[in-house]
Chain A
Amino acid sequence: MTSWLKNLMKKRIMWPVGALVVLILVNVLYRPSFLKITVLDGRFYGSLMDILRNSAPLMLVSLGMCLVIATRGIDLSVGSQMAISGAVALTIISHSPTPNSLATVLGAIGVGVLITLLFGIWNGFLVALLGIQPIIATLVLWLAGRGIALLITGGFITTINSAPYKTIAQGNVLGFPVEFLIGLAAIIVVVLLVRRTALGVLTEAIGINPAASRLAGVRSRGIIWSLYGLSGLLAGVAGILYSSNIMAADSNAAGNGIELDAILAVVLGGTSLAGGKFTLGGTVVGVFIIQTLASTVTFLGVPSANVSVFKAAVVIVVVVSQAPMVRNWFGRQFRSSKTASPTATPVAMERTAA
């Protein structure tokens, strides 16, 4: 029993998972209906489904961010790229005579995502080939990207009526939201790409020691370059999801500040900003923590003025609980007491409540 728990405690991912469980528990204790999932018009409906669905854009962006961070990089331009892909796709559809045809919608999405892929490749070019600091290189598009999106929409919010486009974020397949399924598909594709090929190992090698990996024959330039491209591509798809969710290209608000949420999700998941070892599973959990936190604010009825403080408090608790010193301390406490099983749960909960 104890060794089983001890092994579990050693696993890094248990800490973010624990935080997520605590967060859900707080909601359930406050109002048990949080876990309730009903069937409405042939689809699942409930708070948890909302969280799964709404987390998709952040999920896509965070997966890309995780890989970029693993190479000792960072991509600040993801939010602006979301605005661009949404603006491009909706402008094409709104000018098309056939907004309801599948071909138009697929074409518009294709162009929107292709453009962000090119912007991602541009970021990669600046970082991998020109050797510009990633934070500066991606800052260019962070600034200019939203301006480009505003230019495309003329400063207004472009709205459309298009049934196929609406399905992307608001439709359901087998009772599950399509948006969630897209997020799930992205996780599977990225995990397969990274863990079933050498890409993951090579990425970690670059992050751990760029010089050594280059001497060992790793083509770091190409890998870094393509990872920024992937990040742009994922951000582009996230922008499509965002605009489909509201059926509007809101260039000012789309993806505003999501780069920081994505970095937070990666860090909460246990990946170091110093690069090297990364965990996609942890990142996924980190995204769910952030999304659950957003729902918690509404569910508990935290006053608007206190929302930032509330979120900050939870984030601090999760981050501090992951610090090596704190974890070691918990480990010692655990070993010394043989009767009960004091996991991190009660302590974290007390702090959250306070």
Chain B
Amino acid sequence: MKKKFVTGVLMAGAMALVLSGCSSTSSTTTAGATTAAAGKVITVGFAQTGSESGWRAANTESMKTAFSEANGFKLVFNAADNKPEAQIAAVHSFINQKVDAIVIAAVVTTGWDDVLKEAQAAKIPVILEDRTIDADPSLYAAWFGDDFNKEGKTAGEWVVKTFGSTPTNMVVLEGTTGSSAATDRTTGFNAAIKGSGIVQLASQTGDFTRAGGKTVMEGFLQKYGKTIQLLFAQNDDMGLGAIDAIEAAGLKPGVDIKIVTIDATKDGMTALSVGKINYIVECQPLLGDQVAKTVKDVLAGKTVEKMQYGVDGAFDQAQALAALPTRKY
């Protein structure tokens, strides 16, 4: 009996450990809220997805900078560790704290109606960042993010410009199957290369990771060898993994196999600057300033565009060399 009790206590201890493991990442960094009226400080609750990638880290950094006290904001930040229920709880707590505006980078697209209606009843405007949701558009003021379809299209346009109607063998490293980033980039890219001389030999998911890109590219190289002339990797990380595989196969990345990727992370840009990648389309994580402006406009009662896209650039080798020294992420 006593032994059982001891085990029970320890189990509870282990559970507490597990729980604190979650809460440490989802804890709010700034508690308490000041009203907008007092001192004109705008209190904004930001519900971030978590910290699943370098892109996300840069995005969080950008938001924190844009919503700084120097800019007249008080930011209540929450990272939900990619757990939808934790994120909804965070938004609830923002409403209870009576923040002036709520910004959400939604973990999942569904399940938002109730909490958004609650925010609406409390007259707190909601601005979505990065990811879209399946809810009535009247429940949020605006959405701000990247246009994945256009990113794919820009990559495709470069391919058409470079190879024209010359028959060219291409392989594709797709992102995580089912993610909007992967699906939309594929759609945009395929639309752009329609009618060109590009022949798609194979397309396989590399899960947006370096190791995934490397392994799948090894397989492509074993199967098609030197006939591959072009690689479209749907993010930098997979492209960087593929470069390793291409070099191991005794070929020169960027020369024997031309490479186009999307993201423009620092590592990707470095590879581009030395000619191992030929072209990178940007997927801008530094959305903070534009989101902050939208928040101010909404609170000032101005009408804002419902769907707003970040400005994504694109880089070739010379532009990468110029951009690298100031690249933050």
Q: Is the CB of B21 within 8 A of A155?
A: no
Closest chain A residue to B25, Cβ basis? A147
Min CB distance B292 to A, Å, is 21
Tell me if B215 is interfacial: C-beta within 8 Å of chain A: yes
Interface residues of A in 15-60 (CB under 8 A from B): 31, 33-34, 40-41, 45-47, 50, 54
Closest chain A residue to B214, Cβ basis? A246
Closest chain B residue to A242, Cβ basis? B211
Closest chain A residue to B209, Cβ basis? A253
Q: Is the CB of A132 within 8 A of B211?
A: no
A135–B178 CA distance with the chains assembled, in angstroms: 30
Q: Is the CB of B222 within 8 A of A157?
A: no
With A140-B14, A253-B210 as contacts: A299 and B219 at CB distance below 8 Å: yes
- A150's partner among B51, B60, B174, B211 (CB-CB below 8 A) is B51
Tell me if A245 is interfacial: C-beta within 8 Å of chain B: yes
Q: Is the CB of B248 within 8 A of A170?
A: yes
Q: Is the CB of B250 within 8 A of A156?
A: no
Tell me if A2 is interfacial: C-beta within 8 Å of chain B: no
Q: Main SS of chain B's interface residues?
A: helix
A22–B218 CA distance with the chains assembled, in angstroms: 22
Tell me if A101 is interfacial: C-beta within 8 Å of chain B: no
Give the A-binding residues of B (Cβ under 8 A).
7, 10-11, 14, 17-18, 21-22, 24-25, 51-54, 56-57, 60, 174, 177-178, 202-205, 207, 209-212, 214-216, 218-220, 222-223, 237, 240-241, 244, 248-250, 267, 329
Pick the most buried of A31, A34, A247, A304: most chain B CB atoms within 10 A of its CB.
A304
Min CB distance B48 to A, Å, is 11
Q: Is the CB of A250 within 8 A of B237?
A: yes
With A137-B14, A140-B14, A170-B244 as contacts: A304 and B215 at CB distance below 8 Å: no
Contacting residues, chain B, for A50 (C-beta < 8 A) = 215, 218-219, 222
Binary B-proximity of A257-299 (CB < 8 A = 1, otherwise 0): 0000000000000000000000000000000000000110111
With A54-B215, A131-B7 as contacts: A47 and B204 at CB distance below 8 Å: no
Q: Is the CB of A156 within 8 A of B54?
A: yes
Q: Is the CB of B56 within 8 A of A155?
A: yes
Tell me if A222 is interfacial: C-beta within 8 Å of chain B: no
Closest chain B residue to A41, Cβ basis? B250
Min CB distance A223 to B, Å, is 21
Tell me if A301 is interfacial: C-beta within 8 Å of chain B: yes
Min CB distance A141 to B, Å, is 9
Q: Is the CB of B21 within 8 A of A298?
A: no
Question: What are 27 A-B pairs with beta-carbon distances under 8 A?
Answer: A34-B222, A40-B249, A47-B222, A50-B222, A54-B218, A132-B10, A136-B11, A143-B22, A144-B18, A144-B21, A147-B21, A155-B53, A157-B53, A157-B210, A170-B248, A245-B214, A246-B244, A248-B267, A250-B210, A253-B209, A295-B222, A298-B202, A298-B220, A298-B223, A304-B204, A305-B178, A307-B204
A54–B218 CA distance with the chains assembled, in angstroms: 10
Contacting residues, chain B, for A297 (C-beta < 8 A) = 204, 219
Tell me if A201 is interfacial: C-beta within 8 Å of chain B: no
Give the B-binding residues of A (Cβ under 8 A).
31, 33-34, 40-41, 45-47, 50, 54, 126, 130-132, 136-137, 139-140, 143-144, 147, 150, 154-157, 159, 170, 242, 245-248, 250, 252-254, 294-295, 297-299, 301-305, 307
- A140's partner among B21, B244, B329 (CB-CB below 8 A) is B21
- B215's partner among A132, A247, A294, A307 (CB-CB below 8 A) is A294
Contacting residues, chain B, for A248 (C-beta < 8 A) = 210, 240, 267
A170–B249 CA distance with the chains assembled, in angstroms: 12
Contacting residues, chain A, for B17 (C-beta < 8 A) = 140, 144
- A157's partner among B14, B237, B244 (CB-CB below 8 A) is B237
Min CB distance A180 to B, Å, is 13
A47–B217 CA distance with the chains assembled, in angstroms: 12
Contacting residues, chain A, for B204 (C-beta < 8 A) = 297-298, 301-302, 304, 307
A208–B18 CA distance with the chains assembled, in angstroms: 31
A252–B7 CA distance with the chains assembled, in angstroms: 33
Q: Is the CB of A252 within 8 A of B53?
A: yes
Q: Is the CB of B18 within 8 A of A139?
A: yes
